[in-house]
Structure 1
Amino acid sequence: MDRWTGILKIPVCLKGLTHCRIAASLCVSPSSKTLIVPKANAIFFNGDRVEGTGNPVIDKLSDLQNIVEVLNSKFGDSVNTWAIEASTFNGPFAVYKEFIHSLNKWGEPQSYKPGGFPASTSIVSLMSNFCSEADLSVNLEEHQSSASSSLPQTVILGFSKGGVVLNQLVTELGFFKPNALEDPTQPKSSEFPGNQIIPSSVESFLDSITEIHYVDVGLNAPGAYLTDEITIKRIVERPTEKDKRMRFVLHGTPRQWNDKRRGWICEEKNQFRELLESGGKKSQGKIEVYERTYFSDGCPDLQMHFQIIEELVVT
């Protein structure tokens, strides 16, 4: 199996003014050089910009192309990998304003609300627009001969500030119901060219999510992890209703989890994990929760915060 790799600046909406930089490494047929059905799509949301450190590890793992290459090594050749950057930056601060409607000027959330399903809508639109901009077509013959005709699974990862997108997605996942997008300004599935390489609607995208990885997330204000009991209750109930499994993995370093100046990060993480674990006991094993600590004996620094991307254990 070969791969197509590249970085493009993609409009969030088809004719929108705001663009996100996206790096992708996608499975292609070695014979026809067209996209083929992957096992999964792994989508990584990056954090704030860090420049001028002079540290080669930080510089390497701040680069979107390097991130997708690391993800390829983690997930394998049969998975498409995507790394997405916020459309807007206030200085170094990433502002995912199309994904979350209640952000302040530093990109910190005031709340997570499902109304309009902005995160899932933006992701579906970006992936579709990316394939159109890159002029990537689908190998229908290989598609039809695939052993599985179902949509590939989706794995979501959020690094540092990128964790806010995960919280918004989890909120939308908990509250989404079919026909929830009745607002005519919101895209319906027919507005996106459909294939089974990427989701063609908000519903198919949310239904395809099987894993959510929080990667050393943290903010300079509360909101790094979800702590709303109603939202978590709905998330826990969803796999049982759908007869599916959902896996949450919380990855962290002392840089975030041991920061006494921002003690709320560890407190929120613990509360989030406990709520998921409590609900998981009622889900007949369909909710799985894991916590993994990296560089536990190291002195907290910025390098370990980025180096966790290379050390990530995703299995």
Structure 2
Amino acid sequence: MANSFTTSSSQASCKRLLNVEGVEGRFNDVVLCGVEKLFTSKQHIIFFGGDVQDYKENMESHYTNKHYAEWDLESTGQLLRSQFPDSTVFVIKPSEMLLKTFSMYKNFLGFDEDGKPEFTSDFGALLHLAQLYSLVLENEGKSDVNGVCSANSNVCSYDAEVKILGFSKGCVVLNQLMYELDHFKDNKDVTTFLDKVTAIYWLDGGHNGGTKAYITDDKVLANIKNIDKKLYILVTPYQIKCINRRWIGREEADFIKKLKALGANVREFRFFMDTPGSIENHFNILTKVKKVTDMF
């Protein structure tokens, strides 16, 4: 794991950390929002965004994506932090934006030539995330006396609890993390990181791959139940009622049903169900995170 990376200025209270290396040879930009409170925050929120979500200047220069520039990565990080003022938000930028539009988290899971996600048990997404998170803490907190970085582990330990959020296409990363739970259950870096995680949020997850928008594999679901985290599933008609992707709604229903049958700590929250699915309300699910957190 590398011990340095470059920084870039961005929107007020957000800081771009460029080319952060987690697993050796895998680099992602990380945007920190609320960086000034990184070591006094009660919680750290890790966020994986969806398609089109990029740096604002990239979105504004794109003929289509400019219409959604208000949902750029930094503005979304600030939105999430406004809902949780005692937090620092870690926005993980995809390593590639296919056609400057489609989020490709290639350092977290595989994709075929058409951009369809391919889930495996041992890709290393959990390890990559644990080490990305740790390196950010290590480099940002070299002068902080409250943090502890063990010489025997690549994962730094701080008091803040961790919430992991995936939105839209970003939920494929959450799914990959869950697929790896059994394989990495004895990895010290991973277990140290997972011990800090208290909740996982699927925010209107979906993609165009034709299958596996939600997890229905019984063994993987049992592993999810066994880590004993709060599981939040937020949906809108944009995904689960899409007439061209009916499989998303079926999988989401199975995901919820099977987790509940296993006794998992899961709740589903539906929004805007009395209106037709729209990209506007799809993005607006991002404004509902604090609301459902207070309800569960």
Aligned to 1:52: 63
Q: CA–CA distance in 2 between the matches of 1:10 and 1:314?
A: 33
Q: CA–CA distance in 2 between the matches of 1:238 and 1:128?
A: 20
Aligned to 1:302: 279
Instruction: Give yes or no for contact 1:248–1:289 (8 Å, CA) kept in 2.
Output: yes
Give 1:11 deviation, angstroms: 3.2
Q: CA–CA distance in 2 between the matches of 1:295 and 1:103?
A: 31
| Equivalent runs, 1:131-210 vs 2, <5 Å | 131=137, 135-140=140-145, 151-178=159-186, 180=187, 201-210=189-198
Change (3 A) 1:14 1:120: closer
Amino acid at match of 1:220: N
Q: Verify: 1:69 aligned to 2:78, yes or no.
A: yes
Instruction: Give yes or no for contact 1:27–1:38 (8 Å, CA) kept in 2.
Output: no
Counterpart of 2:244 in 1: which secondary structure?
Answer: helix
Amino acid at match of 1:97: K
Match of 2:128 among 97, 114, 122: 122
Give 1:261 deviation, angstroms: 0.8
Match of 2:43 among 31, 40, 45: 40
Identity over aligned pairs, percent: 30
Aligned to 1:289: 266
Q: CA–CA distance in 2 between the matches of 1:288 and 1:303?
A: 29
Amino acid at match of 1:40: Q
Aligned to 1:113: 120
Give 1:209 deviation, angstroms: 1.8
Give 1:23 deviation, angstroms: 1.4
Change (3 A) 1:275 1:47: same
Change (3 A) 1:73 1:268: same
Match of 2:208 among 220, 224, 246: 220
Q: CA–CA distance in 2 between the matches of 1:177 and 1:151?
A: 22
Instruction: Give yes or no for contact 2:178–2:223 (8 Å, CA) kept in 1.
Output: no
Counterpart of 1:99 in 2: which secondary structure?
Answer: coil
Per-residue Cα deviation, 1:116-139 (whole angstroms, up to 9, x for no partner) = 5x1112112322443566x54342
Structure 1: which 5+ residue stretches go unaligned? 30-34, 181-188, 190-200, 240-245, 281-286
Counterpart of 1:260 in 2: which secondary structure?
Answer: coil
Counterpart of 2:265 in 1: which secondary structure?
Answer: strand
Instruction: Give yes or no for contact 1:41–1:154 (8 Å, CA) kept in 2.
Output: yes
So what's the TM-score if we normalise by structure 2?
0.79
Q: CA–CA distance in 1 between the matches of 2:28 and 2:103?
A: 11
Q: CA–CA distance in 2 between the matches of 1:138 and 1:217?
A: 39
Give 1:106 deviation, angstroms: 4.0
Amino acid at match of 1:139: D
So what's the TM-score if we normalise by structure 1?
0.74
Higher relative contact order (CA 8 A, sep 6+): 1
Aligned length: 263
Q: Verify: 1:211 aligned to 2:199, yes or no.
A: yes
Amino acid at match of 2:122: G
Aligned to 1:83: 91
Per-residue Cα deviation, 1:83-140 (whole angstroms, up to 9, x for no partner) = 112101221222111111x321344223x32225x1112112322443566x543421
After the TM superposition, list the runs of 4 or more consecutive aligned residues in structure 1 that deviate by more than 6 angstroms: none
Between 287-296 and 63-72, the greater mean CA deviation after superposition: 287-296
Instruction: Give yes or no for contact 1:96–1:165 (8 Å, CA) kept in 2.
Output: yes
- The Cα RMSD (Å) is 2.6
| Equivalent runs, 1:260-279 vs 2, <5 Å | 260-279=243-262
